[in-house]
Amino acid sequence: MPLKNKIEELKKRKEEVLQGGGEQAVAKQVAMGKLTARERIIALLDEDSFNEYDMFVEHDARDFGMDGKVLHGDGVIIGTGTIFGAPVAVYAQDFTVAGGSLGSMHARKITKIMDYALRMRIPLIGINDSGGARIQEGVNSLAGYGEIFWRNTLSSGIIPQISVILGPCAGGAVYSPALTDFVFVVDKISKMFITGPEVIKSVLGEEISQEDLGGAKVHAQITGNAHFYAESEYECFEQIKKLITYIPWNNTRKARRFEPKEPKVNFNIEDIVPGDPKEPYDVRDVIRAIADDSDFFEIQEKWAANIVIGFGRLNGETVGFVANQPLVMAGVLDVDSSDKAARFVRYCDAFNIPLVTLVDLPGYLPGIDQEHAGVIRHGAKLLYAYSEATVPKMTVILRKAYGGGYIAMSSRHLRADFVFAWPSAEIAVMGPEGAANIIFRKEISEAPDPEAMRRQKVEEYKEKFANPYVAAAKGYIDTVIEPAETRKLLLHALEVSSTKVADRPYKKHGIPPF
Amino acid sequence: MIHPKLDDKNVTAFIPGTIIDVKVKKGQEVKQGDVLVILDAMKMHNRLIAPSAGKVKEVKVKPGDKVRKGALLVSIE
């Protein structure tokens, strides 16, 4: 046969695989408001950059009538491509082929691209849209999941791993996204749960819809399992592309450097923060007043919103911002906000991204539910993460820094490299009210007018301790700065810490309180 | 069954505190994000905002009231 004919045959074979699960299944996918796996890859990657592998892989199941059944690509597409020129490895489950169910060859394709991503030290993006394990393949499906989880863990902290949930992701399958760095969900399309509504109903008698149990909003606002929420798949792909610009290809590199840009003039730092420490404000405006081009890429915006995390740039370099949010629950630390910030700090540390921490918090949230939910253990995660991090750490205390919250928020004592405080900073063991009540209990109760005495003592305490100078006198903060100088000093701190050395004693790994 | 965090009709106190200002009246139309009540707690004048647009169905508190955690403050229809 001449080569020309062989090429024709190849084209024919490819053409067949490109049909996915066939016209009917594709129509069903479209009716569900979803793009097909191939459309997703095209929308996500640079034009014409995708190279597919294992297109002709076939399943090897023999039981339950599977023998001879054709499943194109075994329900998953793998390959490599680029996003803004940065190389990425991708897999996308094809729901039109046997519901994207995971059999052994399907899993083997995924683990192949995962191995490739790790070996080449490039980010991995997994698009999940699968009904779950392929029951006909039995325990081989479970083995496949296990192989994926093991690789997720092996790659953790070496290459960025991104999970995109664009359909069902249920049962064991959910653990792969949970082991990765960032999870993206889309309204009405993403569904994630360990046991679905049917099982919950039969075991517990409780009725709930898939959406209310594990829809996009649930994971973006209640569970914290998702990091980015989008209204549409296209919006989701734009978020992924943007994220890729902030992070390095792997843990031996720095994120790509961009052209430095000054913040926009409409973010005047002194106009943002009220002088009265009881008045709230949006700390994201402070970040925008500091960051290049006033650009801030927030992560987990709707979950544990009392702390704000995300990426921005200083002088063109990616930094991770962590900031208490006085606008939400007074900016307290609690179970969820500690967990959220701690994980982000560890992410930045793993991928050579310097940390900028903005402090304004009344402390930890008191309450029976918090204590019983284990706020001690969750709060400790944040202390652990900051203590462990060796990337440059810059801290700016804007207003309140009281008690355990002061220590936890990247204090000098946890080895912040630079601690700046605004003149409005109040750094003390606890708030003036509480402190005065304890220290002067006797004077207050024995005074002819206890309330007047109490107010007087609170004022005295405030005068003496609710400022940055007591901490400055001990060198716990490096300098008290004018708010307008913040960006300039952070840029300088970043510059002088670019050659930072922070050696730690050897250990296999620590035991963080998770 | 709706999780309280996804409830966009009822505004409750996230922590015990004192109501220092009520910005809306029953029957008033509000936009999402409008400030409904100011709650003094955790060293902060916390602005509790409308989770969705609509008409104020009920205002359960007045300035000076001490509220428990989880107490319903304002509901929107």
User: Are residues B2 and A367, on separate chains, in Cβ contact within 8 Å?
Assistant: no
Residue B1 has pLDDT above 70, yes or no: no
The stretch A262-287 carries a mean pLDDT of 93
The stretch A176-201 carries a mean pLDDT of 96
Chain B closest CA to A362's CA: distance in Å?
Answer: 6
* Contacts with B45 from chain A: Cβ below 8 Å: 278-280
* Contacts with A305 from chain B: Cβ below 8 Å: none
Q: Is B4 on the interface with A (CB under 8 A)?
A: no
> ∠ CA(A370), CA(A440), CA(A453), 5° rounding?
110
pLDDT tens figures, A301-337? 999 999 999 999 999 999 999 999 999 999 999 999 9
Task: Please state the length of chain B.
Answer: 77
- Of A327, A204, A321, A216, which Cα lies nearest the Cα of A274? A327
Q: Is B11 on the interface with A (CB under 8 A)?
A: no
Determine the residue among B42, B45, B49, B52 to mutate to test chain A binding: the one whose Cβ has the most chain A Cβ atoms within 10 Å. B42
User: Are residues B46 and A279, on separate chains, in Cβ contact within 8 Å?
Assistant: no
User: Are residues A280 and B46, on separate chains, in Cβ contact within 8 Å?
Assistant: yes
Interface residues of A toward B, Cβ cutoff 8 Å, are: 206-208, 212, 217-218, 221-222, 277-280, 326-327, 329-332, 362-363, 365-367, 400, 402, 431, 433
The stretch A140-158 carries a mean pLDDT of 97
Q: How far is CA A259 from CA A264, A318, A351, A369, in A?
A: 15, 11, 20, 47
User: Are residues A277 and B6, on separate chains, in Cβ contact within 8 Å?
Assistant: no
Measured distance CA(B31)–CA(B51) in Å, rounded: 9
Q: Give the count of Cβ contacts less than 8 A between chain A and B.
A: 51
Q: How far is CA A135 from CA A61, A64, A201, A307, in A?
A: 11, 10, 21, 42
Q: At what angle do helices A375-388 and A335-350 cross, to 10 degrees?
A: 20
Please count the CA atoms within 13 angstroms of the CA of A339 that sit on its side-chain side.
Answer: 19
User: Are residues B46 and A212, on separate chains, in Cβ contact within 8 Å?
Assistant: no
pLDDT tens figures, B11-69? 999 889 999 999 999 999 999 999 999 999 998 999 999 999 999 999 999 999 999 99
Q: Shortest CB distance from B43 goes to which of A207, A330, A365?
A: A330
Three-class secondary structure of residue A133 per DSSP: strand
Measured distance CA(A425)–CA(A468) in Å, rounded: 5
Q: Tell me the H-state helices in A126-190.
A: 139-155, 175-179
Q: What confidence score (pLDDT) does residue B2 get? A: 65
Chain A closest CA to B45's CA: distance in Å?
Answer: 5
Measured distance CA(A372)–CA(A351) in Å, rounded: 34
pLDDT tens figures, A38-65? 999 999 999 999 999 999 999 988 888 8
Cβ neighbours of residue A416 under 8 Å, at least 6 residues apart? A357, A386, A393, A394, A395, A410
Cα torsion A230, A235, A238, A243 to 10°: value is: -10
Q: What confidence score (pLDDT) does residue A76 get? A: 98
Q: Is B46 on the interface with A (CB under 8 A)?
A: yes
- Of B72, B39, B50, B14, which Cα lies nearest the Cα of A336? B14
* Residues paired with A124 in a beta bridge: A89, A161
Residue with tokens 């290809």: A249
> ∠ CA(A361), CA(A366), CA(A371), 5° rounding?
125
Q: Put residue A415 in one of left, alpha, beta given phi > 0 → left and psi -120 to 50 → alpha.
A: left
Burial label for A6, CB within 10 Å (0-12, 13-18, 19+), is exposed
Contact A155, A125 (CB under 8 A): no
- Of A299, A376, A286, A362, which Cα lies nearest the Cα of A329? A362
Three-class secondary structure of residue A360 per DSSP: strand
Residue A514 has pLDDT above 90, yes or no: no
Q: What confidence score (pLDDT) does residue A374 get? A: 94
Determine the residue among A200, A329, A399 to mutate to test chain B binding: the one whose Cβ has the most chain B Cβ atoms within 10 Å. A329
Q: In the structure, what pLDDT confidence band is assigned to residue A503 with cuts at 50, 70 and 90?
A: confident
User: Are residues A332 and B42, on separate chains, in Cβ contact within 8 Å?
Assistant: yes
Q: What is the DSSP letter of A222?
A: I
Q: Is B21 on the interface with A (CB under 8 A)?
A: no
Question: What does pTM read for this prediction?
Answer: 0.95
Measured distance CA(B32)–CA(B12) in Å, rounded: 16
The two three-digit tokens of residue B29, written as one number = 């139309």
Residue A345 has pLDDT above 80, yes or no: yes
Cα torsion A413, A415, A416, A418 to 10°: value is: 90
Contact A17, A73 (CB under 8 A): yes
Q: Shortest CB distance from A278 goes to which of B1, B15, B44?
A: B44
Cβ neighbours of residue A136 under 8 Å, at least 6 residues apart? A61, A63, A64, A65, A66, A103
